[in-house]
Amino acid sequence: MEARGFALSDSQNANRFRLDGKAAIVTGGGSGIGRAIAERFAQSGASIHILDLDLNASQATAEQIAATGGKAATHQCDISRQDEVSAVVQQIFSRERVHILVNNAGIAHIGTVESTTEEDFDRVFRINVKGLYNCMRAVVEHMKAHGGGVVLNMASVAAWVGLADRFAYSMSKGAVVSMTKSVARDYIGHNIRCNSISPARVHTPFVDGYLRKNYPGRQGEMFEKLSQTQPIGRMAQPGEVAALALFLCSDEAAFITGSDYPIDGGFLNLHG
């Protein structure tokens, strides 16, 4: 018996993964993965609100989006402060309904349980864990009142495997995955989907800065060494993470919630 299916027309294909008429908040949208997500979402029709401590960086992202015909606004915000987050999102809500929250902002930390100071631990927790809590808490009630929405959290392969010298960072990203599942379960009846992405190493300005600071004169050598820790033989590009984010926040992923998606060049499954 001949299998039957259907083919999408060119116009139907062009409209897939679109975010027309939707507004998205992207934290940490001034650089790296956050900038790539903000730009990709804007290209797909979304109105973007960038929350970032670095106003100059977020304005550069907004200007790039505007130059390509998109729409973006910037909001200076310390996501670790609940009062600041609440004030900023209330300002956004007064202008338009928010359909999507991308919790991308976060910091890295290098250290074992012995070398991680209490101050370091508290700072990582305050930004990577409490910051996401603050943003989700501020947005979920709004989404409930307006028929639903999508929350996407940035986790890491560090949530799933033991990485050397990443004690506090791994703690924080494990919490991100757990919070994602909890929010997905609690709000599934309100048409709110919540998923997370777990990248391995991604080539961002942070990586270049880290290599310049810690390996002066050996940046090329160490970049290649870090690249080879992914079985695929390279780091991810921010745009590749943004493409996955777009899918998970689009209506094409309407049946997906409470899941974490590795984007890791085979890191979790192909070692050994």
Is the residue at 15 inside a domain? no
Judge whether residue 265 has pLDDT over 80: yes
Q: Does 146 lie in the same domain as 25? A: yes
Same domain, 85 and 137: yes
Q: Clarify whether residues 186 and 209 are in a common domain.
A: no
| Mean of the per-residue pLDDT values of the chain | 94
The verdict on residue 149 lying in a domain is: yes
Is 235 within 8 Å of 227 (Cβ atoms)?
yes
- The reply to whether 170 and 230 lie within a common domain is no
Contacts of 63 (CB under 8 A, 6+ apart): none
Domain-located, residue 176: yes
Same domain, 208 and 132: no
Residues 157 and 221 in one domain: no
Tell me the whole-structure pTM to 2 decimals.
Answer: 0.93
1: its two tokens: 């018996």
Domain CATH code at residue 258: 3.40.50.720
> pLDDT digits over 37-78, tens only?
999 999 999 999 999 999 999 999 999 999 999 999 999 999
Q: Considering the domain boundaries, does residue 188 fall inside one?
A: yes
| 115-168 residue pLDDT tens | 999 999 999 999 999 999 999 999 999 999 999 999 999 999 999 999 999 999
Would you call 266 helix, strand, or coil by DSSP? coil
Catalytic residue annotation: 169
CA 37 to chain centre: 8
Cα–Cα distance, 142 to 148 (Å, whole number):
8
Amino acid at 50: I
Q: Are residues 86 and 220 in the same domain?
A: no
Other beta carbons less than 10 A from residue 43's beta carbon: 16
Which pLDDT does position 179 carry in this prediction?
98
Give pLDDT, residue 3. 47
175 and 229: one domain?
Answer: no
Domain count, the chain: 2
Judge whether 67 lies within some domain: yes
* Strand 260-263 relative to strand 100-103, pairing: unpaired
* pLDDT above 70 coverage of the chain, percent: 94
Query: Same domain for 41 and 114?
Result: yes
CA distances from 178 to 9, 57, 133, 203, 255 (A): 40, 30, 12, 26, 20
Domain that holds residue 223: 202-235
Quick one: 114 and 222 in the same domain? no
Sequence-distant (6+) residues with CB within 8 A of 77 are 27, 51, 52, 53, 84, 85, 88
Q: What would the two tokens of residue 108 be?
A: 């890295």
Same domain flag for 208 and 83: no
Residue 68 counted as domain residue: yes
Confidence of residue 1 (pLDDT cuts 50, 70, 90): very low
Q: Is residue 44 part of a domain?
A: yes
**Are residues 83 and 50 part of one domain?**
yes
270 in any annotated domain: no
